[in-house]
């Protein structure tokens, strides 16, 4: 048994590694310890100081960096990697083979499609007018579709959809939906070419 805290009603798969100072199955506000079931599949590596709240269902092959936070009631697929210092809020859907680099922020009600790639310091937002009346009832996370790639330090505004295989350049601010297989740069983000026009792709 490592030097970590495990709450009741946590189901771990085979060959799971949990490093020191992690917390697994922490109840969210308003829930008792063990009230929500937490499932983590086979071959996970959960690095030190990671906190995984209760109620998430996580597939096989999870990898976290250090000091990762995964909030409650998320659906996370197989072979997902979450980089050091990243924060995954609650009620999020993350499909298989998603990779998030260090210090990524993913807010409530976001959806990350199979194989999408999220660079370091990417911020996804979900509140159009923070602290406005009924802000909680109007939260809309981004939808990032299959194999899309989001460059470092990009910001996605609430409710935008990034199409399949789109490429968002580093530092871009995305204020509207991006079609599939487009290359986007700038603030606000503008389409500059097709993926097929990139020689190295």
Backbone angles phi, psi at 80, to 5 degrees: -95, 135
Smallest Cα–Cα separation from 107: which of 177, 155, 51? 155
Element containing residue 39 per DSSP (H, E) = strand 38-40
Smallest Cα–Cα separation from 15: which of 49, 45, 58, 57? 45
pLDDT tens by residue, 18-62: 999 999 999 999 999 999 999 999 999 999 999 999 999 999 999
Segment 147-153 mean pLDDT: 98
pLDDT tens by residue, 90-144: 999 999 999 999 999 999 999 999 999 999 999 999 999 999 999 989 999 999 9
CA distance 38 to 48: 19
The highest-level CATH class for domain 5-197 is mainly beta
Domain map (residue ranges) of the chain: 5-197
């Amino acid at each position: 048994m490592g030097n970590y805290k495990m709450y009741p009603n946590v189901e771990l798969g085979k060959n799971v590694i949990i490093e020191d100072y992690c917390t697994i199955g922490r109840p969210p506000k308003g829930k008792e310890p063990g009230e929500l079931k937490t499932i983590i599949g086979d071959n996970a590596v959960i690095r030190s100081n990671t906190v995984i709240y209760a109620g998430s269902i996580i597939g096989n092959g999870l990898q976290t960096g250090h000091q990762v936070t995964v909030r409650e009631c998320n659906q996370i697929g197989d072979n997902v990697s979450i980089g050091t210092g990243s924060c995954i809020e609650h009620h999020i859907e993350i499909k298989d083979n998603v990779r998030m680099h260090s210090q990524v922020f993913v807010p409530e009600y976001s959806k990350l499609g199979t194989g999408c790639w999220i660079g370091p310091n990417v911020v996804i937002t979900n509140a159009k007018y923070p602290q406005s009346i009924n802000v909680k009832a109007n939260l809309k996370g981004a939808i990032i579709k299959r194999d899309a790639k989001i460059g470092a330090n990009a910001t996605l505004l609430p409710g935008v959809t990034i199409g399949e295989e789109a490429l968002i350049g580093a530092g871009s601010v995305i204020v509207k939906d991006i079609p599939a297989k487009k290359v986007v740069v700038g603030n606000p983000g503008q389409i500059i070419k097709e993926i097929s026009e990139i020689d190295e792709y």
